[in-house]
Amino acid sequence: MNKNAPPPEASGQLLDEYWDSIRRGRFVVSECESCKHRFLPPRRWCPNCAAGNVRWFDSEGSGELYSFTEIPSASPQTPSSVVGLATLDDLSEGSRFYGSVVDIAPAAVLVGMRVRVQIRPFADGGMLPVLVPVGKEAG
Amino acid sequence: MSASFADVAIVGVAESELGYVPHLSAVELMAQAAHRALANAGLSLKEVDGLFAATAQFQMPAIAAAEQLGISPRYLDSSVQGGTSNVSHVRHAIGAIRAGLCEVALVVYGSNQRSELKRTGTRPMGAKAPPLETPYSPRFPASSYALIAQRHMAQYGTTRKQLAEVAISASRWAELNSVAFRRKPLTHEEVLASPVVSSPLRVLDCCLITDGGGALVLTSSDRARRTVEKPIFVAGTGEITEHEGVIAMRDLTVTGAARTGKQAFEASSFEPKDIDVVQIYDAFTINPIVVLEDLGFCEKGEGGTFVEDGKTGPGGRFPLNTSGGGLSYSHPGMFGIFTVIETVRQLRRECGARQVVGARIGLAHAIGGTMSTHCTLILAA
């Protein structure tokens, strides 16, 4: 079991709602109903306008790899030895998605490449949103 | 120009024993540094009425340090902002001294993380990766800084070799510092052959893990002039936090130093060209490159070129991290206080073989978290 895996049961905490949504195959980000700011990590109060009416928004997950790093010592239980930050078309400026970059050799990863967030199952039974190079998406 | 307008000055600085110090606990390292700094200032413990302490190793550090020292200060501050903590304390001490809430402020740090790592196999850490990062098992905090480095390289053409220049320069300064941990100068070949921690950062791009403590003594400029021969005046300061994790960092190539530098320069009336010696918390080699740009010492994107050709090393035109920095001198965790100690010593002209000739005005800059918090001090003799 990956000791860093998200909690299996929803508890009403905002991040548990996020992971629960991921388990159901929906990649979501926070959206403020007042100012339409869309962001990660999820928050109950909008970091742009302070309004309290933040809801979940189903994101297409399409975007561009903003930066990445390869961690040679990464545990084999993690989805990939490469972790990246992606600028998503659905997120407001300055907010990004953080996650493993999969289905590509580490040496082939490039800043600026088109990527898409996909939810993938992993060996321990957990589901994680990860970054897949465009053209390699499954399903 | 002088800083005669500055109303608070540093009158004492000291380190504890550094490196591998298995016989002293974290709070004892604080105490040893505190006793040495007070001796350096010519003040006694009973004159200390403000205490500012940080460590990642226990809760309520000011309380622990006060009992260890046997004092009952009337002003206490244990605020922790990662590597900026003690530099932030300098700002807080200025406020407290100005407000009359204390007269003699003691700022202390201590950590025995190297001994703890050896003893227990685990390094004591005050912070961990944010929850949306942990499922992907990054190296924390190295991977966050690696993302910054990779983006800077892609956006501005900064090279792997330029990162190595920062480590090499630090090691050449450390060769001149008798208490530095790594005293053998590094070569490009050694840096580039060291194992990758989180690309593009290699082991020798990352700070040391050592034991150690540090302490500063501050008081009003009036009292400072009566206390020591060479008070070092705090001419300008700046402090900011912009994010916690890199997921919320708006632009990986622009740091809070752009704002703290502006605050500190404006408050001091000095400009980047007036600064004789600079210390920037170098937890990773990318840090000085980006922060030099943000502080205005070079244009955005030119930090890599700026550090080339030994320019920041001994004998270079821009003396940077003259103690040897966190990369080669000492890194017991929150390194911020050591940027201040070295700046004060340079301005007092006490640095022997590594002394920057004619140093009158210095800048100390600390970074906390994952490029999250920044604190800038401009000090003047």
What number is the ipTM of this complex? 0.94
Cβ pair B98, B92 in contact under 8 A? no
pLDDT at B122: 87
Q: Cβ contacts (< 8 Å) between B252 and chain A: which residues?
A: 66-67, 85
Question: Angle, nearest 10°, between helix axes B85-98 and B336-347?
Answer: 70
| Phi-psi region at B196: left, alpha or beta (left = phi > 0; alpha = psi -120 to 50) | beta
Side chain identity at residue B267, one-letter code: A
Mean pLDDT in residue range B138-165: 98
DSSP state of A128: E
Question: Residue B319, CB half-sphere, CA atoms under 13 Å: how many?
Answer: 26
CB within 8 Å of chain B, chain A residues 30-59: 40-41
Q: Give the closest-approach CA distance of A112 to chain B in angstroms.
A: 9
pLDDT digits (tens, 9 = 90+) for B207-249: 999 999 999 999 999 999 999 999 999 999 999 999 999 999 9
pLDDT of residue B90: 98
Best CA proximity match to B210, nearest among B234, B237, B181, B186 = B181
Which residues, including other chains, have CB under 8 Å from residue A43's CB and lie 6 or more apart? A14, A30, A54
pLDDT above 90 (res B173): yes
Place of tokens 């929803």: A10
Radius of gyration of chain B (CA): 19
Instruction: Compute CA distances B116 → B121, B126, B332, whole Å.
Output: 7, 14, 11
Please report the pLDDT score of residue A94 as a whole number: 87
pLDDT, tens digit, 9 for 90 and up, residues B255-288: 999 999 999 999 999 999 999 999 999 999 999 9
Query: What is the mean predicted confidence (pLDDT) over B85-112?
Result: 98
Spatial neighbors of A1 by CB under 8 A, at least 6 apart, are A124
| Rounded Cα distance, B182 and A117, in Å | 44
Q: Is A128 on the interface with B (CB under 8 A)?
A: yes
Amino acid B115: pLDDT: 96
Length of chain B: 381
Per-residue confidence (pLDDT) for residue A1, from 0 to 100? 38
Q: Which two tokens stand for residue B202?
A: 């290699």
Please, which residues bridge with residue B277 across strands?
A: B362
Q: Where are the beta strands (DSSP E) in B207-264?
A: 212-220, 232-241
Mean of pLDDT values over B305-326: 98
Asked if B240 and B373 count as a contact pair (C-beta separation under 8 A), the reply is yes
**Is the pLDDT assigned to residue A2 strictly greater than 60?**
no
Give yes or no for A17 touching B (CB within 8 A): no
- List, as one string, the DSSP characters of B124-190: --S----TTTGGG---TTHHHHHHHHHHHHHHH---HHHHHHHHHHHHHHHTT-TT-S--SPP-HHH
Mean pLDDT of chain B: 96
- Would you state the pLDDT for residue B128? 84
Rounded average pLDDT over B191-198: 98
Are B277 and B362 in contact by the 8 Å Cβ rule? The answer is yes
Map tokens 């040391």 to a residue. Answer: B208
pTM: 0.96
- What local confidence, expressed as pLDDT, does residue B227 receive? 96
> Using CA atoms, how far apart are residues B340 and B366, in angstroms rounded to an integer?
9
Average of pLDDT values for B159-183?
98
**pLDDT recorded at residue B127:** 78
A15 touching chain B per CB within 8 A: yes
What is residue B17's DSSP assignment?
S
pLDDT at B2 over 80: no
At residue B217, the pLDDT reads: 98
Nearest CA in chain A to B195: A72
pLDDT at position A6 is 55
A74 to chain B, any CB pair closer than 8 A? The answer is yes
Mean pLDDT for the stretch of residues A25-35:
98
Instruction: Decide if B221 contacts B18 (C-beta within 8 A).
Output: no
Residue A135's pLDDT band, with cuts at 50, 70 and 90, is confident
Q: pLDDT, tens digit, for every residue of A114-132? A: 999 999 998 777 899 999 9
When scoring B133, B136, B247 by the number of chain A Cβ atoms within 10 A, the one with the most, hence best to mutate, is B136
Quick check: B85 pLDDT over 60?
A: yes
Rounded to the nearest angstrom, the minimum Cα separation between A116 and chain B is: 17
